[in-house]
Chain A
């Protein structure tokens, strides 16, 4: 036979709709249960609505749903006058309570890793629930219904008093461990993770506190304050939504705005009793709903596009890093290969010179031609290799510059003197002119600067078939720079060619008609070296066939 005492003896009132009754003695319980659960549900629905596939948002809605179910069940135990209902609801409450902790763990895990835990973890969670399946409906869960002093409490058994709290603190510890582990990694999302974890831990600890106070001290009323952990969590979640734009804030804000406005408009239907006003309200609602849907769609599209761009940017950055590595490896390869080529080439040049000099016996006149070709080709090859090596040094940032003060005007004049015979061989006149205000001192690497001028004059010699090459040294007191202009009457070039001239392996379109030899690296190397010494190399030409002017600018010392 059922062992139940008539509730009327204690004068309890009957609960309607399960939760509305005078037994609650005051509205505080409604506030503490309904407000946090509704706040939690609303924010979770909005968050999930903005991104259905987001695992963290899914887990968040699950957690807040379990919390809402728990709150509803708790209200039933407070309101109901029937011991059987109280006993059933109280015992079944064990599930939403523990699932809430599991959901919170899933939420934090998915927030950090963007995915749910592995199958092993799922199975572990299942195993943690097995004692509840086995003993949930026995005296180990609830011992008895307490009528002492007409209280409507259930006396809790070891399952509630020990296992449940052990379960809860285990999950709190797991969430704490997950968070600390993530914070140690120093990821860009660490602040968001810290705030989310603080919110959820505050919520869970306060929740456990209210239950412990209730279970061990039989004071369930003070314990209710613990439920306000949910609004704290919601507030922190709201903060990270706005501050860090997590979970597509733009979309969320648009949806919240639309929902609020729609609610306001619908409420007008009930407030206004005049028929015309109601019709206007209905038309406004329809118009507003259509516009709202369009607005939300467009914002969603924009947000998705932004996310795609962000994803592309990350991929691009990764690819760029990989390219840099490949480029570095390529430069190293060129450097090693060039070094390896240089040694045998020196031998070829050396022996060709010795053969020509007759070190290995008299040379027949018809042999001079092939020997000089060998020497010339080896010389060209050595120059090309030197260019490759310079490029690889510049790109590997291994080029060293020994900066000293020296007279660039004098050096330029000497180079012109050295190269004049070579010009005469080709029938070209090499002139030197100057217009100086200062003494011509610059601070740069002597060898590299000479190499640049040498390269530029040699270039002009290659691409000038007749006429003159003038080296004009002048300084500008305003900009305090010294310029070495190499002005030729050569093949010239158009603007398009000039724009690409200083790129690697770039040669003028009409270059092959005059000089088929050349790697297209000389000007690149010259400009890079000049720039490394705070100078520059520029080029100007009036057009094809109208000669060109190359200028080396260096700051005066």
Chain B
């Protein structure tokens, strides 16, 4: 990566930035859904899931 950075620094910088942001964003998602389990649930009006036959 260092070698590539030396040959095309500007392009690689943008790509690295993109990769970094994606990793950060996915980490936030991981934190939200898997660590804190913070998401809403839609169920049947009676509040109970309907069992399928």
Contact = CB atoms under 8 A, between A and B. Distances in A.
Contact of A10 (B22, B34, B38, B51): B51
B49 A10 contact: yes
B19 to A, nearest CB: 10
Contact of B49 (A123, A133, A150): A150
A144 B21 contact: no
Contacts of B49: 5, 9-10, 147-150
A3 B37 CA distance: 8
B34 A145 contact: no
A3 B40 contact: yes
B5 interface: no
A200 to B, nearest CB: 21
A144 B39 contact: yes
A428 interface: no
A87 B33 contact: yes
Interface in B13-49: 14-15, 17-18, 21-22, 24-26, 28-34, 36-44, 48-49
A300 B49 CA distance: 62
Contacts of A91: 29, 33
Interface in A48-105: 83-85, 87-88, 91-92, 95
Contacts of A399: none
A119 B14 CA distance: 8
A141 B38 CA distance: 13
A83 B36 CA distance: 13
Given A125-B18, A126-B18, A84 B37 contact: yes
B42 A119 contact: no
Interface string A107-126: 00000000010010011011
B50 interface: yes
B17 to A, nearest CB: 6
A11 interface: yes
Contacts of A9: 48-49, 51
B52 interface: yes
Given A123-B14, A137-B29, A150-B50, A143 B40 contact: yes
18 contacts: A2-B36, A3-B37, A3-B40, A10-B51, A11-B51, A84-B34, A88-B32, A91-B33, A116-B11, A119-B14, A126-B14, A137-B28, A137-B29, A145-B42, A146-B41, A146-B42, A148-B42, A149-B50
Interface of B: 10-11, 14-15, 17-18, 21-22, 24-26, 28-34, 36-44, 48-52
Which A-B residue pairs are the 3 nearest by beta carbons?
A: A2-B37, A144-B40, A137-B28
